[in-house]
Structure 1
Amino acid sequence: MKHMAALLIFAVSVAPAMAEQFSAAPGKYKIEDGMTIVLAGERISLRHISAPPMGTRCILRGKPRDCGLISRSSLMDLSAGAVITCRRDDDGLGRCTAGGFDLAENMVYTGWAVPAAGAPSGYWKQMAGAKSRKRGFWNGHFAPGWAPQQAALKR
């Protein structure tokens, strides 16, 4: 009996932490930036991506722009009118979907985010497509401080 109790305690102590799940109806969440959503009072950063911070300057079509703001607008567009569901782990990062579609992967597809180190291979394929088709910030260049290629290696 002592062995069973010890085994149970061991199993519970090594079990992975449970992810928390949150959902919010359209209009009941806030898009903070190109990779952060606040829903049900909880701040969740999208796992596997990096997006330019608010205020990040870039040149698009020959004009200076705030690519952080544009990235946030892209995430707003992808989630507009949809129920967002997020599963957040203990590290504050999570996977969020809008209408069943992975928001992080779609941000990479649109060219307004890049995959982070350790991202699934599909994210890297989406980035290659965005780059070759010059979608999002791949259609311009960044002022010093944040570059898509550097961000993809940092996170």
Structure 2
Amino acid sequence: MPGEGFEQFVRLRYTELLHTAYLLTGSVAAAEDLVQSCLLKIMPRFERVAEPMPYLRRAMVNQRTSWWRAVRRELLSSAPPELGAGDPAGAFTERSALVAELKKLPARMRAVLVLRYWEDLGEAETAAVLGCSVGSVKSQASRGLVRLRALLESGERSGR
């Protein structure tokens, strides 16, 4: 049975984990499933894991990749997780457009962008979470930003 440390960790970090999972999956339901699945994996050994957030980030990326390979399709939703009452409409619209275009990127590229710019991890930390080289993170981030900008610009021109 998990101790108070695990329960407190979940209370403090669940929303943060859910937002990351949403950006990785593109679906509220899939994000909830992803977080739940990864929390169940860490629960029995939580007290022995020195840094649970990096562990969970890597677990979420790996689990998302496994699901993608098994299903070979993405589960998408147009509704992001609850963003809070104080979120201005303009920021919500921009964030929704960004998330919509982010969904169009390949899963690995999306994971790099989410970890680097949403989670604010460094290149080395992102590489460690994804199990790849720092150079791979740099190239995926660079290409991903170029593609994301192009997608956002084409969306603005088409009047979305």
Q: Same fold (TM over 0.5)?
A: no
Bigger helix fraction = 2
| TM-score bracket for the superposition, by shorter chain length | 0.3 to 0.5
* TM-score scaled by length of structure 1: 0.33
* TM-score scaled by length of structure 2: 0.32
Bigger strand fraction = 1
